[in-house]
Amino acid sequence: MTLLKLDVFSLRNIHSASIQPAAGINFIIGANASGKSSLLEAIFILGRARSFRTHHIKQAIGFDQTPLIVSAQLRHHTGDISNLGIQIDNKQSEIRIDQENRQKADLAYALPVQLIHPKSYLLLDAGPQHRREFLDWGIFNHNRNFLPNWRRYGKALQQRNALLKTRQTNQLAAWDRELAEYGYWINRFRNEYIDLLQPAFLQLAGHFLDTSLVELRYSAGWDERQTLDQCLKADIEKDLRYGFTHSGPHRADFLTFHNNKLVRDYLSRGQQKLLVLALLLSQVDLLNQGGQNNCCILIDDLTAELDAANRAKLLKYLASLGCQVFMTSTDLTDFGDLNSVGNYKVFHVEQGHISPI
């Protein structure tokens, strides 16, 4: 898919902006605090209905408090055109696709966006929640059966935890059955996805780090020598004592190894950033399989991420990918030699105004 036209209103310091991006790479340049990250945030909000900078999306609404609106005309890989929009005010958010009210998930299916930014290395470093979100976004796009199972699992888990807290053990068995069933499917989807991701990740790690010794090791979130149902029954005393469910896909994780050593304890910060880049781009690779350029890539603050040689490698890779890319930096020279990039545009941002160069 390609964004043909993007309109942004009242998002941080961007009062009103309208751009017609290139189908290839869009370089966004401007001084600090000019609004570059805000432009990427706008595209991210349009694809994920949340912000990458704050848990409270309302904080992105401009200080004058007029509703935040991001809308776009989008061409799908089939050639069909769609109009997407999201409006957020202090009370609610409203999503429209081709003049109809829709859900967040519809938006996410229409515009998959992958973000690479200075905090992306947290994928390896921070808690397992980040890695589950990473996996689940990939699976969500890969298999439409994932979302209903994931929602039902979440609901069953909430109910079970509420019963544990109030010690209503007589109803637990019914929720255990639900958890075991939907948990089985979530785990299966995740295992299948890791198997697909692994070769793409290996290839990209080879490209960026010149190594073939990386490996992803997934853990289901319970002792897999038993079924989830058996684990839930075995855990019951512990679960009642603490008031929450200890075993299940909500405790899953994956760890990244290089040469059988845990990457986060062993590789340099720069190498970790490159591995995270490889992980994030391997998801894009899966989305693009079958020749569908199905993902929009956002790269914020490139200079903070990589040295000149690695920036050149990344640019070459992105130029060959055929995806639509938006990348920011303070200076055009930070991006390196643009001669090898076929299809690109440069936009200058100044005090929230965006103009093509």
Ligand X SMILES: Nc1ncnc2c1ncn2[C@@H]1O[C@H](COP(=O)(O)OP(=O)(O)OP(=O)(O)O)[C@@H](O)[C@H]1O
Catalog residues that contact Mg ion under the rule CB under 5 A: 37
Mark residues 44-83: x for contact with ligand X by CB under 6 A, - for none.
---------------xxxxx--------------------
Q: Which does 336 bind (CB under 5 to 8 A by kind): Mg ion, ligand X, none?
A: none
Residue 330 touching ligand X (CB under 6 A): yes
Q: Nearer to Mg ion by C-beta: 73 or 330?
A: 330
Q: Which of 172, 333, 332, 324 is nearest to 237 (CA)?
A: 172
Asked if residue 29 lies in contact with residue 36, where contact means CB atoms within 8 angstroms, the answer is yes
Residue 29 touching ligand X (CB under 6 A): no
Residue 142 touching ligand X (CB under 6 A): no
Q: Nearer to ligand X by C-beta: 68 or 200?
A: 68
Q: Nearer to Mg ion by C-beta: 37 or 51?
A: 37
Size of residue set near ligand X by CB under 6 A: 17
Residue 117 touching ligand X (CB under 6 A): no
318, burial (CB in 10 Å: exposed 0-12, middle 13-18, buried 19+): buried
What pairs with residue 9 in β-bridges? Answer: 16, 69
Contacts of 87 (CB under 8 A, 6+ apart): 67, 68, 69, 93, 94, 96
For residue 7, the minimal CB distance to ligand X (Å) is 17
Residues 71 and 283: their CA atoms lie apart, in Å, by 25
Residue 12 touching ligand X (CB under 6 A): yes
Render the burial of 241-272: b for 16+ CB within 10 Å, e for the rest: eeeebbbbbbebbbebebeeeebbeebeeebb
Residue 26 touching ligand X (CB under 6 A): no
Among 21, 24, 35, 249, binds ligand X (CB under 6 A): 35
Sheet holding 100-102, edge to edge: 14-19, 2-11, 68-75, 81-88, 93-97, 100-102
For residue 300, the minimal CB distance to ligand X (Å) is 7
Residue 36 touching ligand X (CB under 6 A): yes
Summarize as ranges the residues that interact with ligand X (CB under 6 A).
Answer: 12-13, 30, 32-38, 59-63, 301, 330
